[in-house]
A and B are shown apart, each in its own frame.
Chain A
Amino acid sequence: MVQYSEKVMQHFMTPHNVGEIKDADGRGEIGNPVCGDMMTFYIKVKDNVIEDVKFKTFGCGAAIAVSSMVSDLAIGKTLEEALKITNKDVAKELGGLPKNKMHCSNLGAEALHEAIKDYQNKIKEKQ
């Protein structure tokens, strides 16, 4: 059995911000090429600030904890700040991840970034 940090287990057992946003401003979906798992992020944006984040994840304990942590980190940040969130930040905030689970931490930040890019593309189209 993999040994997860206490923080990972907390976020896994009671993840924050699970769900969908029906009228989301941006949506990002990422598949994990390593194990075939999936993650979808939804964001709500107001005045360039991420007001709300929701996610859905098909994946291991680490993937779920990562999604929860990324959503926590992103809420309240400007789009520019949120785009700077890296997988390393996420893993660090979670008290580390087992080596063979580092790839799951890539998913979270990437899915968030995809959602932001989706939002930015929509804005561009409108202009």
Chain B
Amino acid sequence: MGNLENNRIFFDNASTTRIDDRAYREMLPLFKKHYGNPSSFHSFGEIPEEKMEKARMSVASLIGAEKDEIYFTSCATESNNTALWGIARAHRDKGRHIITSAIEHYSILNPLKEMQREGWEVTLLPVDKYGIVDPHDVKKAIKKNTVLISIMHANNEIGTIQHIKDISDLAKQAGVVMHSDCAATAGIIPLGVNALGIDCCSFSAQQMYGPKGAAAIYLKKGIKMRPIIIGGVQERGRRAGTENVPAIAGFGKACSIAKLEMEDNIKAITVLRDMLTEGILKNIKKVKLNGHPEKRLPGNVHVSFEYIEGESITLLLNSQGVAVSSGSSCASAALKTSHVLNAIGLSPAIANGSILFSLGKYNTEAEIKKTLEVLPSIIEKLRKMSPLS
């Protein structure tokens, strides 16, 4: 029954998802029975190779790409790093300028910081209070030496979905390669690489009910990208290293399931999301919904509770079996408020009171009800302790 095992409720689907049983089963024979290396010429490599290519097909089909435009990696972070370094290096003769947004994932922002140290110039675009990048800002930022634009499809924290097509049109006009971090959207909402007009994107299996350890880069035919993991000729020389065949097979299965069931999932999850959002806004005072009211991920409920701090909320919810995350500085290892919440202009005190409930396909109405039952008293308990309220 969903995540209600041991009465625990998992509302942290933005961090990872439980694997779908069908994807899990797809992986099993590849550990012990068909353990061969897909690169081998002998018979042991045959079935692993076959399974991997079948998976490549399913991954491609989910995003409307060609099979040989998909390259497997180990995680979305690797995909993002590969896309940034790989595309930038392949175009360094044209220039050394990259455009991105202030609310990207760390696996975009931190490699770009590293690239700045190596002489690349990076423009960090602001977002509005909903977390939206204004395409006009992109247009203004494009220069003669711009080689790459990287804007995420949807934000993993506040759930805001960007106007990717408008931005990719500008990139095309200027002859700039367009990459999008789609880790939060692949398999979750419709993602067609042609409809979005992107040249490259990154996504992983573990955020769409697949296993950890498999991810992909889509690279449109004809777009140049240097490898960053170099060795053998796996993945047609773009990503060396023996492939994680079981995880890739699970990834493929997760993609074909997502393709078939996405529409139903979106409907069901949106109902739960709205139930939770309305329940919170109705029963608790001084709380604010962050992100965009409509252009948001189906499972995203990101709220700020005034006067109290997110780590304490998280701990108290956890003691009731409800797993959520917080963008509070106190809850981060670096003791810094989430850069996303800073970028949408939340004051530090409000940002510190933020909680993300990220819902997935295994969540149930009963879980929403239970959460709405325990949440108000948790908030009240902490507010009674707060010098601010």
Q: Is B one of A's binding partners?
A: yes
- Please report the C-alpha to C-alpha distance between residue A59 and residue B335 in the assembled complex, in whole angstroms: 12
Tell which of A30-38, A73-81, A82-90, A112-120 binds the partner.
Answer: A30-38
Which residues from A are CB-within-8-Å of B309?
A: 37, 58-60, 63
User: Is the Cβ of B352 less than 8 Å from the Cβ of A15?
Assistant: no
Q: Which residue of B314, B335, B384, B387 is within 8 Å of A35 (Cβ)? A: B335
1/0 per residue B316-354: CB within 8 Å of A? 101100000000111101010100000000001100100
Which residues from A are CB-within-8-Å of B386?
A: 56-58
Given A12-B315, A13-B319, is A60 in contact with B387 using a C-beta cutoff of 8 Å?
A: no
B interface: dominant SS:
helix
The reply to whether the CB of B1 lies closer than 8 angstroms to some CB of chain A is no
Which residues from A are CB-within-8-Å of B385?
A: 15, 18, 56-57, 64
CB distance from A114 to the nearest CB of B (A): 13
User: Is the Cβ of B312 less than 8 Å from the Cβ of A35?
Assistant: no
User: Is the Cβ of B387 less than 8 Å from the Cβ of A63?
Assistant: no
Which residues from A are CB-within-8-Å of B348?
A: 36
User: Is the Cβ of A36 less than 8 Å from the Cβ of B352?
Assistant: yes
- Please report the C-alpha to C-alpha distance between residue A12 and residue B330 in the assembled complex, in whole angstroms: 15
CB distance from B286 to the nearest CB of A (A): 13
Interface bracket on A? 20 to 34
Which residues from B are CB-within-8-Å of A2?
A: 311
The reply to whether the CB of A40 lies closer than 8 angstroms to some CB of chain B is yes
- Please report the C-alpha to C-alpha distance between residue A2 and residue B330 in the assembled complex, in whole angstroms: 10
User: Is the Cβ of A64 less than 8 Å from the Cβ of B312?
Assistant: yes
Those of A1-58 within 8 Å (CB) of chain B: 1-2, 9, 12-13, 15, 18, 29, 34-40, 56-58
CB distance from B218 to the nearest CB of A (A): 34
CB distance from A23 to the nearest CB of B (A): 18
Given A35-B352, A36-B352, A100-B335, is A60 in contact with B328 using a C-beta cutoff of 8 Å?
A: yes
User: Is the Cβ of A35 less than 8 Å from the Cβ of B388?
Assistant: no
The reply to whether the CB of B258 lies closer than 8 angstroms to some CB of chain A is no
What is the chain B residue whose CB lies nearest that of A34? B335
Which residues from B are CB-within-8-Å of A18?
A: 384-385
Which residues from A are CB-within-8-Å of B335?
A: 34-35, 100, 103
A interface: dominant SS:
mixed
The reply to whether the CB of A61 lies closer than 8 angstroms to some CB of chain B is yes
- Please report the C-alpha to C-alpha distance between residue A8 and residue B388 in the assembled complex, in whole angstroms: 23
User: Is the Cβ of A40 less than 8 Å from the Cβ of B387?
Assistant: yes
Interface bracket on B? 20 to 34
A-B pairs under 8 A by CB, number? 64
Taking each of B315, B331, B349, B352, which has the highest tally of chain A beta carbons within 10 Å of its own beta carbon?
A: B315
Which residues from B are CB-within-8-Å of A63?
A: 309, 330
User: Is the Cβ of B312 less than 8 Å from the Cβ of A36?
Assistant: no
The reply to whether the CB of B251 lies closer than 8 angstroms to some CB of chain A is no
Q: Which residue of B311, B316, B387 is within 8 Å of A29 (Cβ)? A: B387
Those of A89-117 within 8 Å (CB) of chain B: 100, 103-104
Which residues from A are CB-within-8-Å of B318?
A: 1
Q: Which residue of B312, B314, B333, B337 is within 8 Å of A59 (Cβ)? A: B312
- Please report the C-alpha to C-alpha distance between residue A56 and residue B382 in the assembled complex, in whole angstroms: 10
Which residues from A are CB-within-8-Å of B319?
A: 13
- Please report the C-alpha to C-alpha distance between residue A100 and residue B315 in the assembled complex, in whole angstroms: 17
The reply to whether the CB of B308 lies closer than 8 angstroms to some CB of chain A is yes
Which residues from A are CB-within-8-Å of B328?
A: 35, 60
CB distance from B85 to the nearest CB of A (A): 30
- Please report the C-alpha to C-alpha distance between residue A96 and residue B387 in the assembled complex, in whole angstroms: 25
The reply to whether the CB of B307 lies closer than 8 angstroms to some CB of chain A is yes
- Please report the C-alpha to C-alpha distance between residue A57 and residue B307 in the assembled complex, in whole angstroms: 10
CB distance from A101 to the nearest CB of B (A): 8
Q: Which residue of A15, A36, A40, A56 is within 8 Å of B329 (Cβ)? A: A36
User: Is the Cβ of A58 less than 8 Å from the Cβ of B388?
Assistant: yes
Those of B354-389 within 8 Å (CB) of chain A: 384-388
CB distance from B332 to the nearest CB of A (A): 9
User: Is the Cβ of A59 less than 8 Å from the Cβ of B330?
Assistant: yes
Interface on B for A, CB 8 Å cutoff? Answer: 307-309, 311-312, 314-316, 318-319, 328-331, 333, 335, 337, 348-349, 352, 384-388
Interface on A for B, CB 8 Å cutoff? Answer: 1-2, 9, 12-13, 15, 18, 29, 34-40, 56-61, 63-64, 100, 103-104
